[in-house]
């Protein structure tokens, strides 16, 4: 039996939430996905509220992962403690709300999902994501593991894929909002892609109005970023995992563009 895991890239703003709500149920059926993980850390543009997290779960996500904007909407803190289906990066240093890993039942299997965040050009005040991965993989009781690595540097993401090759069934990158064309199965059976991309406005710079980004690069005064408008896309990848060997057999993009 093949276990199909659908991983959806960072949901950005109201447009991203809307296309996810409308299109994820159909995509889940089309891909015969048994398990869906959605990165939701940009649902508010920067951060996510409890209401937005619930909306993503109601859209068909089994687990919601986060990243460097986890605390931009501080009201999410108490929700992270209550809702086991939403994860924040496991390698946050210090005492923060929530959990960075969880184990969920699916098709008679125990699926571990681990959310990690990179340190290169992103947040140096973190524990090592590589050591955090080792810790959770040795601690959790599971049949197969999935890892969302929220990181800036492609080198760090690639290193994590190789670090976990043969130990995690799938490792994917999030954060940069740009889908990569390197879907592959590593030598020991781990499915890998450097970045899923984003779920949000197409005519944008990473989901925001182009003029906001241009203003910054042209030397203008800093101002609040605004979500772009218009047609949206949903970036995702489908990992097919052999339920017996716990190894990935294929990875492919499963994108939608309106």
Nearby residues of 70 by Cβ (< 8 Å), 6 or more positions away:
41, 47, 48, 76, 88, 89, 92
Tell me the catalytic residues: 69
The torsion defined by the Cα of 187, 190, 194 and 198, in degrees rounded to 10, comes to 150
3-state helix, strand, coil in the chain (%, to 5): 25, 30, 45
H/E element holding 241?
strand 236-242
**Length, in residues, of the chain:** 258
Q: What is the Cα 189 distance to its own chain's centre?
A: 20
* Structure-token pair, residue 242: 């052999």
Quick check: helix, strand or coil at residue 163?
Answer: helix
How does DSSP classify residue 181?
S
Place of tokens 């924040």: 88
Q: SS3 for 103? A: strand
CA angle 33, 134, 147 (to 5 degrees): 20
Angle (CA) 16-19-22 rounded to 5° is 145
Rounded Cα distance, 69 and 3, in Å? 31
Residues 150-159 as b/e (b if ≥16 CB within 10 A, e otherwise) read: bbbbeebbbb
């Amino acid at each position: 039996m093949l276990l199909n895991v659908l991983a959806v890239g960072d949901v950005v703003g109201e447009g991203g939430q809307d296309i996810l709500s409308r299109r994820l149920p159909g995509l889940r059926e089309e891909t015969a996905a048994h398990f869906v993980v959605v990165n939701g850390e940009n649902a508010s543009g920067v951060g996510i509220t409890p209401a937005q997290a619930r909306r993503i779960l109601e859209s068909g996500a089994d687990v919601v992962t986060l990243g460097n904007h986890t605390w931009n909407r501080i009201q999410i803190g108490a929700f992270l403690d209550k809702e086991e289906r939403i994860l924040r990066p496991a390698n946050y240093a210090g005492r923060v709300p929530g959990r960075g890993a969880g184990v969920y039942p699916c098709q008679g299997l125990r699926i571990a999902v681990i959310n990690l965040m990179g340190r290169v050009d992103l947040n140096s005040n973190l524990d090592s994501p590589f050591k955090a991965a080792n810790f959770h993989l040795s601690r959790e009781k599971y049949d197969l593991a999935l890892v969302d690595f929220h990181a800036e540097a492609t080198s760090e993401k690639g290193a994590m894929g190789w670090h976990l090759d043969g130990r995690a069934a799938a490792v994917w990158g999030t954060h940069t909002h740009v889908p990569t064309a390197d879907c592959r199965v590593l030598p020991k059976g781990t499915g890998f892609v450097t970045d899923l991309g984003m779920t949000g406005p197409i005519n944008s710079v990473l989901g925001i109005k182009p003029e906001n980004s241009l203003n910054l690069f042209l030397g203008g005064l800093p101002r609040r970023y605004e979500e772009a408008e218009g047609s949206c896309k949903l970036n995702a990848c489908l990992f097919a995992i052999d339920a017996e060997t716990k190894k990935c057999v294929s990875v492919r993009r499963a994108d939608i563009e309106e």
